[in-house]
Amino acid sequence: MPKFLTGNIIKIKNETPTTKRFWVKINSEEIINFQAGQFVTMELPIHEKRLKRMRSYSIANAPDKNNILEFCIVYLENGLATSYLFNVATIGTELKFKYPAGVFILPQKIEHDLIFICTGTGVAPFRSMIHFIYNNNISHKKIHLIFGTRKKENILYQKEFENLEKEHPNFKYTIVLSREEHWEGYKGYVHQVYEKEYKDISDEKRFYLCGWSMMVDEGIERLKNIGYQENQIRFELYG
C-alpha cells in the first residue's frame, strides 16, 4: 500500500467570510475507507522542510464509498497551509495526503448520550459522525451538538443541522454566539451550555470536544469540575 494518496480538488465553496469547504476526489480505483471522525494529513507545497509541509484536516463528510472527501477549513492570517489552500489551490489542484487516520471516532455500539462540543471548523468530525449515524440508521441515544462561533455569519452548516433536528427527535442542535448583539439563542461560549444543561452528573453521557486547545482544554477542565470522569470525555485538538 503506498504511503500517500493523491486527489484533486473538484469543488470549493465559500461557506463563511473566513471558511471554505473543499471537495477532493481521491485518485484511486479502490474505495478508500475511513471512519466518521477521522482526518487526513496533507503534505502541501508550503515549506522546504518536509515536516513543516504537513497539516491535518478532519473529514467533514460521512463515509459513503464514493472516494470524495469534504474538508471545512478556516483561513488563518499568515497561516502557511491555509494561505496556500485559500489563495493558490483551485479546482483541479492535486493534493497529496496520507490515508485517513485518527481515533476520534464513534464507539462500535452507541450506548450513551453523545454531547458534541465544538467551535468553528471543529464541527467537521461531528458532521461526519452525525450523518453517518442518520444515513445508516445506526442505533443511538440522544445526540446534542453544541456549536460555538462569533457571529451569525460564521455559523457552519446551520440549515443542515436544523433540518436534522426537525427530522430526528433525538438530535438537538444549539448554536452559541460570542459576538452577536441580535441573537435570540445562547450568547457567550459553548461552556455555558453544557454547564447548564448537564450539571446533573450522569453516567449516561459521553462528551466529545473538538477544536483549538483554548476551548478544548477549558472544556475538559470544566467538565471535570462538574464531576464527569475522564472516561466520559474524548477530544480532538486542532492545535
Angle made by CA atoms 223, 206, 70, in degrees to the nearest 5: 105
Q: What are phi and psi of 210, to 5 degrees?
A: -145, 135
Q: Does 89 bind ligand FAD (CB under 6 A)?
A: no
130 is a contact residue toward ligand FAD (CB under 6 A)? no
* Residue 200-239 contact track with ligand FAD, rule CB under 6 A, x = bound: ------------x-----------------------x-xx
Q: How many helices (H) and strands (E) does the chain have?
A: 5, 12
Find the binder of ligand FAD among 53, 67, 68, 79 (CB under 6 A). 79
Candidate residues 80, 96, 168, 172; the one interacting with ligand FAD per rule CB under 6 A:
80
Residue placing its CB nearer to ligand FAD in the complex, 61 or 140: 61
- Report CA Rg, the chain: 18
- In angstroms, what is the minimal distance from the CB of 204 to ligand FAD? 28
Q: Residue 18 interacts with ligand FAD (CB under 6 A)?
A: no
Site for ligand FAD in 37-76 (CB under 6 A): 39, 55-58, 71-74, 76
Number of chain residues interacting with ligand FAD (CB under 6 A): 20
Q: Give the burial string for 150-162 (b: 16+ CB within 10 Å, else e).
A: eeeebbbbeeebe
198 is a contact residue toward ligand FAD (CB under 6 A): no
The DSSP annotation for 59-126 comes to: --SPP-SSSEEEEEEE--TT-HHHHIIIII--TT-EEEEEPPB-S----SS--SEEEEEEEGGGGHHH
The residues binding ligand FAD (CB under 6 A) are 39, 55-58, 71-74, 76, 79-82, 121, 124, 212, 236, 238-239
